[in-house]
Amino acid sequence: MNAKFQIFQSNKNNQFYFRLLATNSQTILSSEGYTTKDNCKNGIASVKAHSPHDNYYRRLTATNGQHYFTLTASNNQVIGMSELYVSAQGRDNGIESVKQNAPTAVIEDLTLNAVYS
């Protein structure tokens, strides 16, 4: 399986979200909610553009001691957040996976059951 972005819509708030799945189908990056699908697609385009560059990642530690990262755009807005990792090395591996997978990942629109790049 290739890495892919999935676009989906929440039943709770009707907002659109994306997640980036690695080749092993694990979620490696998730978005915040978008009011329109076009804005969600723009978020994916921003991830594709910014993900190869290390300076857009923020390496963070949660209050419970677990590690995570955010990916920001050039305007410093967060465009994606990782899951929690037990170790800093796990978090750093997650960053490397986003760097490798995001730029070429296809987009699967679960609201249409469509796949495109």
pLDDT tens sequence across 59-87: 999 999 999 999 999 999 999 999 999 99
What is residue 79's predicted lDDT score, i.e. its pLDDT?
Answer: 97
pLDDT for 113 beyond 90: no
- Tell me the mean pLDDT in the region 7-16: 92
pTM here? 0.91
Residues 6+ apart with CB under 8 A from 7: 16, 17, 18, 37, 40, 41, 44, 107, 108, 109, 110, 111
The CATH code of the domain that includes 47 is: 2.30.29.80
What is residue 47's predicted lDDT score, i.e. its pLDDT?
Answer: 98
Rg (CA), the chain: 14
Total structural domains within the chain:
1
Residue 104 belongs to domain spanning: 4-116
Binning pLDDT at 50, 70 and 90, where does residue 112 land? confident
pLDDT for 56 beyond 80: yes
Higher per-residue confidence, 12 vs 86: 86
Binning pLDDT at 50, 70 and 90, where does residue 49 land? very high
> Reading across the β-sheet that carries 114-116, which strands appear in turn?
57-61, 67-72, 78-81, 27-30, 16-21, 4-9, 106-109, 114-116
Q: Would you say the C-alpha torsion 110, 32, 76, 39 has a positive or negative sign?
A: positive
